[in-house]
Structures are given as C-alpha cells and as structure tokens.
Amino acid sequence: MAEAPKPPSDATPPEAAPGSAASAAAAGKPAAAKAPGAEAAAAKPPPAKAAAHPPPAAAAPTGPTEPAPPAGLALPAFITTLQRVVPGSVSHVSYHLGDWTIVVPVAHLVETARHLRDAADAVFDFCSDVTATDWPPRAEGRFDVVYCLYSTRHRHRVRIKVKVGELQPVPSVTGIWPSANWLEREVYDMFGVNFTGHPDRRRILMPDDWQGFPQRKDYPLEGPGELLMENPLDWLKLRQAREQADIE
C-alpha cells in the first residue's frame, strides 16, 4: 500500500523528485546558493526511477489546479472593487466548488489584506486560517501561502494566496489580523516560510532547536529518527551521502 513508510530512495514516482531533493534542500537549508544544486539533484533521478517503474509520466505535481470561474459567473463585488482600488493586486482569480481564491503578488499582499478587511463590501475581519502548500519543483517559487478569510458581517469567505520561493520574504499580516500570529508561526515552523515583520517569529510546535521543516514534501515521514538524539547535523549529512551515492 502507499501508506507503508519507506526510505525515500524507494519512493513511488510522485514522491521521487521531492524525495531526492530532500536531503539537498534540507542540508543546504540556510544557503541560498544551494537551491540550484537541489534543483539539479531533483531533475536527475526521475529518469533512473522511471526505468525501474515504467508507467509514471509526471514526477511530482508542480502546482495546484486553479480553475478560472465559469464564463457565466460574475465576480463577487469585493473582487472587482479590489481590482479597481488596489491596481495590480489580483494576478488570478479562481473558483472551485463554490470557493473563491484570489492569487496575489507578494508585493501587494499587505495592501490587499488591509483593503479586504476594511472595504465596506468585503469586511473580511476574521482570518480563520493561514497555511501553506509545498510544490517543490515549481519554477515560480515552491510555496503557496494561503489565507482563509471570513466576514462576520457579510458571512462570506475567500482565500488569498501568494506564491513564494524558499527564502523569499513574505510580509506578516499580524498587523491586520492579530489572529495570524500563531498561524504564521506554525507555517514558519512547518515549512520555513520567511515571514518578515512578525512580532514573535519562533517555532511553535516543534522544539526550538529542531533542524529542518517537517511539513515540506522533501522531509521524510519517518523523520531523523534516533540520530537526532546525537546530533541533528549527522543525520542530514548521512542522508545527503546516501542520496549522493544513489545518484552516482
């Protein structure tokens, strides 16, 4: 079954690319220069794996499906107002299963968030969730940071989404919704998204001295195991060595 924990080298095709990018990205976590190396490492293994498992075509999904709204459906008023008042804030609008999603460039995030909270036709005063999704092979940045908003006055929902790279700064929205404080801390803890201007950016669920970001797709499910007790860096080195041997 797909659920059996397995070493990353034996991963099924959808996981193969992130699995091999794992150690590279995890080991080279602090260094920006490592990122291209990781890409190369990620690009290499799939052909070898594909030979072992014939059917797979695509390796890992490179992004979410973001279907545009159907032709007959009008945009809600708050989106059209947003487009008018904050130019450049909406790069894509998606509609799926009754949920509206606005894709916003990082540069306009705070401005958009403030508008959505304050504008009379939006009043998204309740930030119910901040989370992220990891799409390692994606060119435009691996993370989607997703903000789920709700309006206690109009009782409607919307999601805003920004696409960011590994070390790219994302302005914190705690100034707009104080509830985002812990939620952003969790996203930082689990994904390593680089929030800036956050009043209290510490890990929240994992121990303070934890190495790596567990919710990333290239972080193994079994974790570092007993080696973490000795020295977490040993584990990362060991994994990297194993991966290197695998590639050559």
Q: Which of 104, 108, 134, 143 binds other proteins (CB under 8 A)?
A: 134
DSSP assignment string, 227-241: HHHH-HHHHHHHHHH
Q: CB neighbours of 14 closer than 8 A, spacing ≥ 6?
A: 56, 58, 59, 60, 61
CB of 246 to other proteins, least distance (A): 21
> What strands lie across the sheet with 99-103, from one edge to the other?
92-96, 99-103, 157-164, 143-150, 126-134
CB of 128 to other proteins, least distance (A): 6
Measured in degrees and rounded to the nearest 5, phi and psi for residue 212 equal 90, 170
Q: Of 67 and 88, which CB lies nearer to other proteins in the complex structure?
A: 67
- Is residue 121 involved in binding other proteins (CB under 8 A)? no
Looking only at Cα atoms, what is the longest distance across the chain? 61
The C-alpha atoms of residue 248 and residue 239 are separated, in whole angstroms, by: 14
The pair of three-digit structure tokens given for residue 104, joined into one six-digit string = 């916003």
Of 22-30, 35-43, 177-185, 235-243: span binding other proteins (CB under 8 A) = 177-185
Q: Which of 35, 50, 110, 206 binds other proteins (CB under 8 A)?
A: 206
Q: Which of 17, 42, 160, 183 binds other proteins (CB under 8 A)?
A: 183
Q: Of 3 and 248, which CB lies nearer to other proteins in the complex structure?
A: 3
The C-alpha atoms of residue 136 and residue 21 are separated, in whole angstroms, by: 8
The pair of three-digit structure tokens given for residue 112, joined into one six-digit string = 């958009």
- Is residue 157 involved in binding other proteins (CB under 8 A)? yes
Q: Which of 144, 148, 195 is nearest to 167 (CA)?
A: 195
Q: Of 221 and 241, which CB lies nearer to other proteins in the complex structure?
A: 221
- Is residue 181 involved in binding other proteins (CB under 8 A)? yes
Q: Of 34 and 146, which CB lies nearer to other proteins in the complex structure?
A: 146
- Is residue 3 involved in binding other proteins (CB under 8 A)? yes
Contacts (CB under 8 A) with other proteins, residues 18-57: none
Q: CB neighbours of 71 closer than 8 A, spacing ≥ 6?
A: none
Footprint of other proteins on this chain (CB under 8 A)?
Answer: 1-3, 5, 12, 14, 58, 61, 64-65, 67, 96-97, 99, 101, 125-129, 131, 133-134, 146, 148, 152, 155, 157, 159, 177-183, 186, 190, 203-207, 214-215, 219, 221
